[in-house]
Amino acid sequence: MTLFRKLFFVGVFSVAVPVYAQTDTLRLSRQECVAIALNESQTLKVADMEIKKADYSKKEVLANLFPAIDFTGAYQRAIELQSMNMSMGGMSQTIKMGTDNNWNLGFSASMPLINASLWKSIGLSDTQILQSLESARASRLDLVNNVNKAYYALLLAIDSRKVIRQNYDLAKLNAEIYERQYKAGTASEYDMLRSQVQVTNVEPELLQADIAVRQCQLQLAVLMGIETRATLMPTVGLSDMQQEMYGYYLGDNRSLSDNTSLRSLDINRKLAQQNVTLQKMAWVPTLAATFNINWNAMSNDNPIKNQHFNPYSNVGLALQIPIFHGGAKYQKLRQAQVQVKQLDLQRETLVNSLNMQVDLALDNINRQVNQISSSEEGMKSAEKAREIMQKSFEIGAATYLNLRDSEMALTSAQLSYYQAIYNYLVSTSELDTLLGREEALGIQNN
């Protein structure tokens, strides 16, 4: 089944008939799980929306470079006109001033010609877009790392269930042998009952193993952003992954340049440095062009009829020179400079911490490789010892206790072997995430 068909299956699965959904099994490789998660994850969709928000924010800043045009309209109705008394020829006369109706309509436009702060804000918006992009990249890295670990956990749960199932089958086989021997009179009832008890003791472990597998399947489905009604199954086992693990190579390429935390901190420092420049631009004079065109009309009685609008217009320049603001601009500048120094110190601490984490991760990986080799040898020895003890038990040359000890030793060796492979795979995924190695994690850059 191609990846396209599997993605199509995921898309239509939610509308499938529930009766059949219970039995559907979707077999996926780790790479296919990663691809589906990157395509369906709601977390990544939210991160992509943050990028769009940052882009719209930049366009908002760019819009301030264009002329701003506004229309205004005002109407005023006089209730009582202002009056003035004048003495003329010894007689007092009252004169009313103004009109009953006053209309004022007009357009105003302004455009910045020199505005250094606005120009610098555009560069600040570009850096904010980079910040959103890096945040989305960090979300992708975390998601893929979690999908990888969930996939490996599913492999471990399935292989562990196989080991417990094998132990259960052996316990049942031994119980059947004891039952036959008891009926033949060659074994005691106590030995038969003890072997049957061993079977019932393993049954809860088998049930817990089934629950663990289902939990891992649900966790993986949730991380992939798909319906949880399907039964997700891997295409490989942990022993198959062992063949690929020796292909993991880091070499001398332990650069932290792609670490998402470090890159985010560098972007924040760039923003802080741009903020310093922006605060300095607050002392630069601004110049804007203005234009106004208005119409006014004045009349008495009816406010609608017989209105005569008379136009008037003007154009001008508005110059603003900052002189003194109580030192507020200077204090803002000092705050921005302190923030840059803080980020420099934080970066130094972060680099030291990341280098330590890389050293520890590499040390753990090397130890886990040795652990896998020793666990594999121990498992082979335990398997051989169990076979010898099984044959000895069947011919009566070994006790049931000896046989059960060999079976428990084999079970423990197998579980340790699979656990060692799981630990190695998780450690490599964590290290790739730490170093930001998108290609190693299976993230395809468009």
Mean pLDDT score, 137-157: 94
Write the Ramachandran bin of 116: left for phi over 0, alpha for psi from -120 to 50, otherwise beta: alpha
> Does residue 88 register a pLDDT over 60?
yes
Percent with pLDDT over 70 in the chain: 91
CB-CB neighbours of 310 under 10 Å: 9
Quick one: DSSP state of residue 308?
-
pLDDT of residue 252: 60
Q: 61-65, 212-216, 362-366 — which one is most confidently predicted on average?
A: 212-216
Assigned domain for 180 exists? yes
Give the pLDDT confidence of 242-257 residue by residue, as tens digits.
766 665 666 666 789 8
Exposure string (b/e) for 141-155, b if CB count within 10 Å is 16 or more? bebbbbbbbbbbbbb
pLDDT of residue 305: 77
> Does residue 396 register a pLDDT over 80?
no
pLDDT of residue 249: 61
Assigned domain for 237 exists? yes
CATH number, position 253: 1.20.1600.10
CA dist., res. 377 & res. 373, Å (int)? 6
CA dist., res. 158 & res. 286, Å (int)? 70
Cα angle: 77, vertex 81, 86; to 5 degrees: 160
> Does residue 63 register a pLDDT over 60?
yes
What the block records as the tokens of 417 is 């072997």
Name the residue among 158, 177, 116, 153 with its Cα closest to residue 403.
Answer: 177
Mean pLDDT score, 120-145: 92
Percent with pLDDT over 90 in the chain: 52
Give the pLDDT confidence of 286-333 residue by residue, as tens digits.
999 999 999 998 888 777 777 888 899 999 999 999 998 888 989 999
Assigned domain for 65 exists? no
pLDDT of residue 250: 60
pLDDT of residue 9: 44
Pairing of strands 25-28, 231-234: parallel
pLDDT of residue 15: 38
Higher pLDDT, 45 or 254: 45
Higher pLDDT, 413 or 7: 413
Assigned domain for 90 exists? no
CB-CB neighbours of 419 under 10 Å: 18
pLDDT of residue 83: 75
Higher pLDDT, 79 or 152: 152
Assigned domain for 93 exists? no
- CA atoms in the 13 A half-sphere facing the CB of 179: 10
What the block records as the tokens of 103 is 């209309």
> Does residue 445 register a pLDDT over 70?
no
Mean pLDDT score, 116-139: 91
Determine the structural domain holding residue 369 and report its residue range. 3-13+21-40+115-284+325-441
One DSSP character per residue, 166-232 reads: HHHHHHHHHHHHHHHHHHHTSS-HHHHHHHHHHHHHHHHHHHHHHHHHHHHHHHHHHHHTS-TTSEE
Average pLDDT over the chain reads: 86
pLDDT of residue 180: 86
CA dist., res. 5 & res. 87, Å (int)? 101
Contact 429, 248 (CB under 8 A): no
The Cα-based distances of 138 to 18, 48, 132, 327 in angstroms read 36, 12, 10, 40
The band of 182, judged by pLDDT with boundaries at 50, 70 and 90, is: confident
In the block, which residue shows the tokens 């009056």?
A: 83
> Does residue 70 register a pLDDT over 90?
yes
pLDDT of residue 111: 94
CA dist., res. 215 & res. 212, Å (int)? 5
For residue 235, the one-letter residue type is T
> Does residue 91 register a pLDDT over 80?
no
Higher pLDDT, 305 or 378: 378
Instruction: State how many domains the chain has.
Output: 1
Of 80-89, 315-324, 333-342, minimum mean pLDDT range: 80-89
Cα end-to-end distance, the chain, whole Å? 24
Q: Is 292 helix (H, G, I), strand (E, B) or coil?
A: strand
The Cα-based distances of 164 to 43, 136, 207, 410 in angstroms read 37, 42, 10, 11
Assigned domain for 105 exists? no
The band of 204, judged by pLDDT with boundaries at 50, 70 and 90, is: very high
Assigned domain for 121 exists? yes
Q: Which residues pair with 102 in a beta bridge?
A: 76, 298
pTM greater than the 0.85 cutoff: no
> Does residue 82 register a pLDDT over 80?
no
pLDDT of residue 287: 94
Assigned domain for 305 exists? no
In the block, which residue shows the tokens 């450690």?
A: 427
Element (H, E) at 83: strand 82-88
Q: What is the largest CA-CA distance in the chain?
A: 153
